[in-house]
Structure 1
Amino acid sequence: MLCQRCGSPVPDNSASCTTCGLKLAGASAGGAAPRRRTATVEAPYKPGDTFARRYAIREVIGPGPVGHVFRAQDLEMDVEVALKVINPRLVQMQEERTQFSLALRAGKKLTHPHHMRVYEEGEDRNRPFFTTQFLEEGTTLRRKIEQRVSQGQRFSLKEVEALLVQLVEALDSAHRYGPHSDLKPENIFLLPDLLKVTDYGLALGIPRLPYIQAQKAWKVGCYLAPEYFEGGELDTRMDLYALGIIVGEMLTGQVPEEDEVSELLAYEADLPSGIEALYRRATNANPLARPRSAGEFLSDFTAALSSRPRPAAVRPATQGPGRSKARQQVPFSLTAELATATPRANSLPPPVPTSELPTLGSPTVQVPTVGHGPPADSDEDDVKTAVDEAPKPTSETPISERTTLELPQVERTTLKIPQVERTTLEIPQVAVTEEIVPPDATQKLDSEALAAIMDTAQSSTSSPAPAPKARAQRAEPRPPVKAAAPSSRAATRTDPVIPVARPSLLSRLWMPLLAVGGLGLGAMAGYGLLKWRQASQAPAAPVAGAPSVATPREEAGAEPLLPASGCPKGMRRVSGGTFKMGKETAEEGTAAEPLLMPRQVATFCIDEFEFPNQAGAAPRVDVTWEEARTECARLGKRLCSEDEWEKACKGPGSLRYPYGATFDAKGCNTQGNAGEPAASGAFARCRSGYGVADMSGNVAEWTESSMGGADRVQKGGAFNRQQPSVRCSARMSAEPDSSSASVGFRCCKGEP
């Protein structure tokens, strides 16, 4: 087994570690075998060799998914380093090796204590390499997890929280320059009092398909986010996916297999429900559903710990290393718990408060009616129901006096209702009383019975005595329905039957008419709003020297598509990460445009409009590259690089034009529209997914990048350019001291 503190190999029955002296629990319990692949790949160098005429190999540390790691001595700096040599099969083309070098250069900027410092990067005989800080002590999180699994143990929530605090600090620091992209337990080093993360940007520096194959061969592809497999745009949220997988593995010892994210509570039923919810969010296939930052992930994790824990469930028996067996012994499932939480067949429903309105039910109902006799003092009802089947059950409740009435339109039902108030009805030769009894909320009423009760209540309020008389006179009596087993009193009674009046047609149709009227009003309002919005979004004809032209987004006070937090006013934030730069096919554009290739940029801010960066102002033209650079520097900014400019233009979806994948002649100020530079923001649709305006057409823009010599790159086309020249990937070049009436610029700035 491995020492819990220093990671050194220790015999299973040892009482303490021979390296650091840590007391151990003794013999290790049986558990799952290590997940990572045991490699037998022969190292390309052996101790005593010199690599790149600078690094003397001292020890072969071991292979990995993308290459080998060596302990080496830097002969120039006279310092011991970790030398990582990449397999040349993964980066065969010169363009791929250049991209690898650019990705590793971003890692040199990381100086946070929780990051492993990157010293140098380069290549030797077509083998890319980089060197990092070498750690004499400590162990990786992978070894720590394997040790716990071998002992049948799991990380406690407090242990996970302590590691998560340092890991989140490392990620938040790295995300200023882009995603880590290769976050996994193998790249997390645990020192006695510190955590360090290594291999920043490695997945962005190696072509996607070879990298995926290498990770799957070593069974660590589960830490890669789904968008990486699908070839989508990558940003810092891919690290939050890996972070969720790592936390779940520490708590349960399980990781997703075959793109199926397991349920943590199925393996650790004592976990708070908030941990399960956070795990589901972080591992969601949609990046937008994940936490927005590592700091938010930590906040949600801490909040879940402070919430009330779930009830403890019976733990399953000791499970073997197989994943399928663990799934068969699921001690708890939220779905199963809800499915079995149904009431028993013989259990009665809880009583419904009488203050609630009765719901419409089936045509056969029980309704209150009138009777005669002395007033009742009891509050209980006596209900006796006869049905067609034999025997015909009845349900009775004691009352002060029982009265049996025969009701029309009620199938074989005999009701006995207590009397509350005595009101004499004037009916020829018979004196009866009418009782206004509140409906029993536990009984179901149909629409006719409900309307009858409402009519009775209204008539008794407005005119207590005459209303029942008039109603009785208007009603047409129908033959009564015979009861199944009438009592002697019911058989010999001579009281007249008072039927329930039919509801009027208006009372039946008022609800459908109200619904239809509401739909009609809503449709008319929506149509009017749509017309108004279309009219407001129509591109206005540009007017030279116009003082202000506000965009519909500004008039409505809408927020930008992406938050501009951390950027100065008037600038838009573009999240760092990799994107697809270049043209899609060799036929489109000029030969100077590269084909699609992945490029990585750090997070930056870019002016929303062309200089002077004011909505409605005319963009400044007739400037040289030097003048544009000086103006940006005066404002504490700089010219955008070509990579930054193209990423801001293509937006999060890597589109061909700022507004979409197909050309729209009226979308931006291109050839055939104004014929001259338009005021900034005049074309409402000409905005990229990051909220940056006029990146296609209007005026071309200087960039910091060169075309390979002294000439500088211009992007975006102009008002006098046709479709091929106004794509986001289109590029032109000009001498730095040249100027034109169709060329301007905009500024960029690194995120503070």
Structure 2
Amino acid sequence: MSILPRLLACITLAFAAEGAAAQGLAELNAGMFREMQQRRGVSASELARVKEIFARSAIIGQGNPAITRHALTPEECAARLPGGIGYYDNPRFEQICGDKYMAPLYDPRTQSASQATACIDQFEYPNVPCTYPVVWVKTSEAAQICAAEGKRLCDAHEWEGACAGALEAPDYRFDLAEGVSPSAAVSRMQAAHNAKYEPQRAWAYGANYQAGVCAAASFKNGSCDGGSFNGCGSNTYPTGSFPGCTSPLKVYDLHGNAAEHMNLPLSPGQMSSRGSTTLGVTEMKGSWFIWDAVRAHPDWCRWRAPFWHGSSVMSSGSHANYHLGFRCCKSI
């Protein structure tokens, strides 16, 4: 066979593979939407808005089904839980937050859960236990999806408080962001923040990193070539597969599984927790599904990352990849 026919055959196979992946992804998303409605009670109008956002992307979902090899099935996840899926039902939290599978954010040293003024999803989106986290989502899309459900993208300090077990007052060093570029602002603010909290670093489950506690013992595909949709599988676990991977505030999978988009405000007017819709820059929190073997950076609760793949949160070019998801917060 000459070079041209071989080349045409390869192109045809590539298009066929992409078409099959797109069809498989659409089917998986449809099943996920049904679970969101049936198990979390997402309304028809909210779900319609979420579907519109997913429809604008060819890759948002639970990973490329052609190459993703999940570490556990949803059925295996349920079998690991005492009493099955109902293990995660919490009527008190639901009453406080007004939504299923959300946890109140507060400081137990000075407050009770009923005094919380914000809540956070207990699981990575779609925030349904024993489902795979959504990945390949840009920060801008994550913010839009949260808003479609009447929620919002969390501020960095809210995620950190959920992980550390105490929501503390915001202490962003906005003075360090004045008059400099966003990347310089993040660098200055990160250095000051991490220096403050490093002496008391801790993980959601305790004072030291522990292998085997969270969804961090999966693998990266051999074909993963730096981050392409057709090369890198999202080999995650179902959310909530590790009941011990929880914070004192009962928020799960803050380590391992998928890293998570958050909002890092560079000025007081960019704080989603204060009602702003003009958000700051991207902040990637936590770690992902290979972390027990490859710990590429710190992932203790209050650690803040450099300006990796940085952009404004609402930029149409904000970052997405195979191990990056999100969860939402909500003011109450």
Per the normalisation by structure 1, the TM-score is 0.23
Per the normalisation by structure 2, the TM-score is 0.49
Report the structure, 1 or 2, having the larger strand content.
Answer: 1
Q: Highest Rg: 1 or 2?
A: 1
Report the structure, 1 or 2, having the larger helix content.
Answer: 2
**Higher RCO (Cα < 8 Å, 6 or more apart):** 2
